[in-house]
Amino acid sequence: MNKKVSAAGLRMAYAYLDSNPGKNIPKLMKWVDKFDTNDVFLSQRNAVREVIEDKENVWYKYIMSMWGDLDAGVRKSVFNNFFLNSSLIGWDREEELRKRYDCNVPWAILFDPTSACNLKCTGCWAADYGNKLNLSYETMDSIIEQGKDMGVYLYVLSGGEPLVRKGDVIRLCEKHSDCSFVAFTNGTLIDEKFADDMLRVKNFYPAISVEGFEEETDFRRGKGTYQAVVRAMEILKRKKLLFGASCCYTSKNTETIGSEAYIDDLIAKGAKFVWFFTYMPIGVDAVPELMVSAEQREYMYRQVRGFRQTKPIFMLDFWNDGEFVGGCIAGGRRYLHINAGGDIEPCAFIHYADCNIHNMTLLEALQSPLFMQYHKNQPFNENMLRPCPLLDNPGRLSNMVDLSGAKSTDFVCPEDAHELSAKCENAAERWAVTADRLWRESKGCDGCSACRKDTGEKKESMPSAV
């Protein structure tokens, strides 16, 4: 794309779209078709075309809301940084490196600016870390520079609480104005000034962690947290900034998180996306009782798929969407995680590593023993509704850790991979029965051998978000 279209041409194309989106979006699709010469994004293009040709479609209404609800500069940033840089330009570079080095190369990089947090949430592995570790600005800048060399333009921040480092976060957004930055944040540190900084840089999009309504959120995060979140969302909506929600569903709040009333409330508050996670028993202070039952996980599976047809909000389910991305996306297959100590981990929920960003490049880390174990073993199950080597397939993670020689990266109390896997065995066993039934339903068959063979094929498609 960079070789074929000048910067002026891109600006003209977007200006054309922006001047009259209802009229010009269909016309612009012909422009997209022209430059996707190898039909890499054929299925995505067809899906978009189906949506924009039906003005009653919930996704058409969602797209058009971007012109009424978002600041024009923020909207342009999403177009340039996410759709062009990350999803089109960067993908070819990533594919080139995957083939050259025969290893995983991520589409997004998640890193923790700090282990510090201003809250102490029940069952959170970071609750006792305190202000122990921080990635320097120079290290974070280097991560992004290395990532862009590989074609990565999407960066996700977590922690700890990443907004403890507000100044450095905004500084990174300013320097890397061609990238998109998403942050998993508790939202309590978002104020008028920070929102103004967001409006200035335009490429920072918070995913605010919330556990449901006030009772559920304050149960895990502390009294007053929900009201602080409500205030943050009000500020962001008023300033026409792009934001979403990050929701961890547990045994205590699943029925609330997955309810129509809750989703409608997020939409009313201005959230444009919601990212669902299920509780993982990570760390010595984990609360296994918060793990969901198979019935609750199935409830979320069905609710999310139903809402996608009726609610104007973009939804992702980290585990239950495995069927759309070919199983586990960790280990650099689509993303990796770098903690506040610099350890390069396969996943935010897999606290084991055999390399560190302070003494190894990202490309070297992707060829390390642990990451190559992921590369060789993905997918971890023929049933893509059982994608995770920890939560869904106990023994797969501990085996890879043993073979690679990786060590626990827990800052407080290192956790043996076998002991961690044991905490997931009962849940995995119960979910296997449900997941196999759901997988057969999704395939429209009775589980014959031909279907099982088909589900085992590796899929190298773009993330469903694209």
Tell me what pLDDT residue 326 has.
95
Region(s) of the chain under CATH 3.20.20.70: 103-466
Tell me what pLDDT residue 412 has.
80
Tell me what pLDDT residue 8 has.
60
* Pair 63, 53: CB distance under 8 Å: no
Sign of CA dihedral 95, 101, 104, 110: negative
Whether this model's pTM surpasses 0.85: yes
CATH class in words for 103-466 = alpha beta
What's the length of the chain?
Answer: 466
| Per-residue pLDDT in tens (0 to 9) along the chain, 466 residues | 554 554 566 667 778 878 888 888 877 777 778 777 788 788 888 888 888 888 888 998 998 999 999 999 999 999 889 988 888 788 889 999 999 999 999 999 999 999 988 777 776 656 555 557 999 999 999 999 999 999 999 999 998 899 999 999 999 999 999 999 999 999 999 999 999 999 999 999 999 999 889 888 888 888 888 999 999 999 999 999 999 999 999 999 999 999 999 999 999 999 999 999 999 999 888 889 999 999 999 999 999 999 999 999 999 999 999 999 999 999 999 999 999 999 999 999 999 999 999 999 999 999 999 999 999 999 999 999 999 999 999 999 999 999 999 999 988 889 999 999 999 999 999 999 999 999 999 887 655 544 444 444 333 443 433 3
Tell me what pLDDT residue 148 has.
97
Tell me what pLDDT residue 308 has.
94
Q: SS in 3 state form for the chain? A: CCCCCCHHHHHHHHHHHHHCHHHHHHHHHHHHHHHCCCCCCHHHHHHHHHHHCCCCCHHHHHHHHHHHHCCHHHHHHHHHHHHHHHHHHHHHHHHHHHHHHCCCCCCEEEECCECCCCCCCCCCCCCCCCCCCECCHHHHHHHHHHHHHCCCCEEEECCCCHHHHHHHHHHHHHHCCCCEEEEEECCCCCCHHHHHHHHHHCCEEEEEECCCCHHHHHHHHCCCHHHHHHHHHHHHHHCCCCCEEEEEECCCCHHHHCCHHHHHHHHHHCCCEEEEEECCCCCCCCCHHHCCCHHHHHHHHHHHHHHCCCCCCEEEECCCCHHHHCCCCCCCCCEEEECCCCEEECECCECEECCECCCCCHHHHHCCHHHHHHHHHCCCCCCCCCCCCCCCCCCHHHHHHHHHCCEECCCCCCCCHHHHHHCCHHHHHHHHHHHHHHHHHHHCCCCCHHHHHHHCCCCCCCCCCC
- What contacts 19, CB < 8 A, 6 or more positions away? none
Residue type, 127: A
